[in-house]
């Protein structure tokens, strides 16, 4: 049984990754492509969550991957490679954002957690599970718009945790914040998205145009 | 234990993540049964997780991967990969993936996706879990045992069980009946 226990502690995938990393470090550079393949989309999505612009996100994703390659010797096996890669991406994206916004004051809501409790709006039921509706471009578009409405700190957490399926701990590590902050922001992000989407997905989505959401009447 | 609406809203996130104590979970379930507003909040939040947790929401621009590889090619020290080399690698990968798909689809049709796994005990039905299309197990987000990273979905544990997924031996350990 001891072999089984070992394999549970360290899944084959992680083991393969460690081997790949060792070989890349030893000079087999071509294997780096294989190493990053499962994470390419995540790197882009993480960059996009912060920059909200396709061209910038792609640029930053490329820079981040390149940086990971150049600094692969610094990778320490106690972290997961994917977390390390996302961490680099988040840092690159934030730097890019800071440069672009150097002269603009960021809204306070983007920098601080809101104090106090959040009261979800009282909408009628939204029981239907409309997963098939994702086939429709316009639905994906609405979801993307709602996500863009969130403040930066909420969007980052939501994208990493709920769209990329990172654990709370990994999300905290990747963003350089505490697990308590991740949980607080996650709760707020999920409730805000529900409030933004519930009216539309409850039936009013047949109307065209943007989300029925007027600036200044935000429920939070 | 009795909880009010505010407490439910504060815990709804942890509740859906399966991260509340059993006694609190029972209290929340009890409250929700009798509260329309909280039912709507829970249903809506669950829908948010299911919609955004679907792989289809993670779109990358067309040609992203190729451009990324080209950028790497240009910056690799020493021998650069040729386009032909890439085509060969891609074709080989496609072949392997293709044969895996065939092998997988051939083994389908069972009630439980895995013959060896067990259904688990006391799994909170409302807990949101991650599954992959070709996987056999359901996982907590971030579990290192999640394979097929590109086809992930978020669904409730109840729905995952209904679709034949079993609890992961690692991240869902506490719900497994150990002999």
SS3 letters for A68-132? Answer: HHHCHHHCCCCCCHHHHHHHHHHHHHHHHHHHHCCCCCCCHHHHCCCCCCCCCCCCCCCCCCCHH
* CA A154 – CA A156 distance, rounded (Å): 6
To the nearest 10 degrees (0 to 180), the angle between helices A179-201 and B36-52 is 100
Dihedral of alpha carbons A161, A166, A168, A174, sign = negative
Contacts of A193 in chain B (CB under 8 A): 48, 52
Chain-centre distance of CA B111, in angstroms?
Answer: 19
Lowest mean pLDDT, pick from A68-82, A162-176, A182-196: A68-82
State which of B19-28, B105-114, B130-139, B169-178 shows the largest mean pLDDT. B19-28
CB pairs under 8 A between A and B: 162
* Residue A33 contacts B, CB cutoff 8 Å: yes
The answer to whether A62 contacts B71, with C-beta atoms less than 8 Å apart, is: yes
End-to-end Cα distance, chain B: 32
Q: Where are the domains of chain A?
A: 9-100, 108-206
Q: How far is A127 from chain B (nearest CA, A)?
A: 6
The pLDDT value given to residue A116:
62
B119 Cβ contact list (under 8 Å, min separation 6):
B112, B161, B166, B167
Q: What is the residue-averaged pLDDT of chain B?
A: 82
pTM (2 decimals)? 0.77
**Higher pLDDT, residue A216 or A150:** A150
User: Which among A195, A156, A130 is positioned nearest to B45, based on CA atoms?
Assistant: A195
pLDDT single digits (tens) A197-214: 877 665 444 333 334 433
Q: Where are the alpha helices (DSSP H) in B34-172?
A: 36-52, 64-75, 83-106, 157-162
User: Which among A146, A165, A135, A191 is positioned nearest to B153, based on CA atoms?
Assistant: A165
Contacts of B9 in chain A (CB under 8 A): 117-120, 191
End-to-end Cα distance, chain A: 54
Total residues belonging to chain B = 179
Can you name the residues that pair with B154 across neighbouring β-strands? B130
Q: Are A54 and A48 in contact (CB under 8 A)?
A: yes
* Residue A25 contacts B, CB cutoff 8 Å: no
Report A:47-76 residues touching B (Cβ under 8 A): 54, 58, 61-62, 65-66, 69
pLDDT single digits (tens) B9-56: 999 999 999 999 999 999 999 999 999 889 989 998 999 999 999 988
DSSP designation for A134? G
Q: Model confidence at B117, in pLDDT bands (50, 70, 90)?
A: confident
Q: Are A85 and A61 in contact (CB under 8 A)?
A: no
DSSP designation for B152? E
Interface mutation target, options A131, A148, A180, chain B, most CBs of B under 10 Å? A131
Give the Cβ contact number of residue B101 at 10 Å.
11
Q: How far is A49 from chain B (nearest CA, A)?
A: 11
Q: Which CATH number fits domain A9-100: 3.40.50.150, 1.10.1740.10, 3.40.710.10, 3.50.50.60?
A: 1.10.1740.10
Contacts of B60 in chain A (CB under 8 A): 40-41, 44-45
* Residue B10 contacts A, CB cutoff 8 Å: yes
Which chain A residue's Cα is nearest to B70? A62
Q: Are B118 and B150 in contact (CB under 8 A)?
A: no
* CA A81 – CA A78 distance, rounded (Å): 9
The shortest CB-CB distance from A11 to any of B58, B69, B145 is to B145
Q: Model confidence at A218, in pLDDT bands (50, 70, 90)?
A: very low
The pLDDT value given to residue A203:
42
Say what percent of chain A tops pLDDT 90: 50
Is a pLDDT exceeding 60 seen at residue B136?
Answer: yes
The shortest CB-CB distance from B65 to any of A29, A40, A187 is to A40
The pLDDT value given to residue A115:
56
* Residue B130 contacts A, CB cutoff 8 Å: yes
* CA B166 – CA B131 distance, rounded (Å): 10
Q: Model confidence at A114, in pLDDT bands (50, 70, 90)?
A: low
Which chain A residue's Cα is nearest to B5? A119
The pLDDT value given to residue B149:
62
Q: What are phi and psi of A130, to 5 degrees?
A: -90, 45
Interface mutation target, options B10, B65, B68, chain A, most CBs of A under 10 Å? B68
Contacts of A69 in chain B (CB under 8 A): 72, 75-76
Contacts of B45 in chain A (CB under 8 A): 190-191, 194
Is a pLDDT exceeding 50 seen at residue A219?
Answer: no
Task: Provide the Cα torsion A129, A132, A138, A140; round to 10°.
Answer: 70
Average pLDDT over residues A61-77: 93
Burial A115-141 (b: 16+ CB within 10 A, else e): eeebebbebeebeeeebebbeeeebbe
Locate B9 and state its tokens: 């809203």
Q: Does domain A108-206 have CATH number 3.40.50.620?
A: no
A190 Cβ contact list (under 8 Å, min separation 6):
A158, A162, B12, B13, B16, B45, B48, B49
Q: Give the up-direction half-sphere exposure of residue A71: CA atoms within 13 A in the CB hemisphere.
A: 14
The pLDDT value given to residue A159:
95
The answer to whether A194 contacts B14, with C-beta atoms less than 8 Å apart, is: no
**Higher pLDDT, residue B133 or A60:** A60
Report A:179-218 residues touching B (Cβ under 8 A): 183, 186-187, 190-191, 193-195, 197-198, 201
The shortest CB-CB distance from B50 to any of A11, A129, A191 is to A129
The answer to whether A61 contacts B43, with C-beta atoms less than 8 Å apart, is: no
Distances (CA, A) of A65 to A47, A60, A118, A159, B27: 11, 9, 38, 19, 47
């Amino acid at each position: 049984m001891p072999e089984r226990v070992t394999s549970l502690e360290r899944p084959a995938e992680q083991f393969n990754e460690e081997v790949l990393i060792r070989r890349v470090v030893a000079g087999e550079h071509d294997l780096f492509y294989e190493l990053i393949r499962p994470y390419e989309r995540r790197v882009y999505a993480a960059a996009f969550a912060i920059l909200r612009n396709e061209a910038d996100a792609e640029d930053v994703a490329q820079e981040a991957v390149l940086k990971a390659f150049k600094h692969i010797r610094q990778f320490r096996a106690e972290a997961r490679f994917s977390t390390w890669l996302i961490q680099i991406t988040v840092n690159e994206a934030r730097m890019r954002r800071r440069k672009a916004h150097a002269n603009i004051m960021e809204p306070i809501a983007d920098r601080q957690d809101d104090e106090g409790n959040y009261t979800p709006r009282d909408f009628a039921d939204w029981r239907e599970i409309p997963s098939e509706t994702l086939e429709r471009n316009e639905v994906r578009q609405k979801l993307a718009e709602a996500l863009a409405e969130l403040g930066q700190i909420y969007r980052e957490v939501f994208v990493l945790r709920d769209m990329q399926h990172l654990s709370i701990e990994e999300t905290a590590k990747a963003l350089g914040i505490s697990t308590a902050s991740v949980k607080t922001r996650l709760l707020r992000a999920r409730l805000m998205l529900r409030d933004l989407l519930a009216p539309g997905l409850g039936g009013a989505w047949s109307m065209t145009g943007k989300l029925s959401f007027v600036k200044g009447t935000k429920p939070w | 234990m009795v909880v009010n609406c505010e407490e439910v809203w504060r815990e709804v996130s942890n509740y859906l993540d399966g991260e509340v104590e059993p006694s609190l979970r029972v209290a929340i379930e009890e409250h929700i049964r009798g509260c329309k507003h909280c039912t709507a909040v829970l249903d809506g939040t669950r829908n948010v997780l299911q919609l955004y947790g679907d792989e289809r929401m993670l779109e990358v621009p067309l040609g992203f991967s190729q451009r990324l590889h080209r950028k790497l090619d240009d910056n690799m020290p020493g021998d650069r990969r040729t386009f032909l080399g890439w085509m060969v690698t891609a074709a080989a990968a496609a072949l392997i993936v293709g044969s895996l798909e065939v092998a997988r689809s051939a083994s389908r049709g069972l009630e439980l996706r895995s013959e060896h796994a067990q259904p688990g005990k006391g799994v909170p039905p409302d807990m949101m879990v991650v599954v992959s299309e070709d996987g056999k197990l359901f996982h907590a987000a971030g579990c290192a045992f999640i394979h097929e990273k590109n086809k992930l979905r978020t669904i409730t544990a109840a729905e995952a069980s209904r679709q034949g997924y079993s609890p992961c031996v690692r991240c869902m350990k506490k719900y497994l009946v150990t002999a």
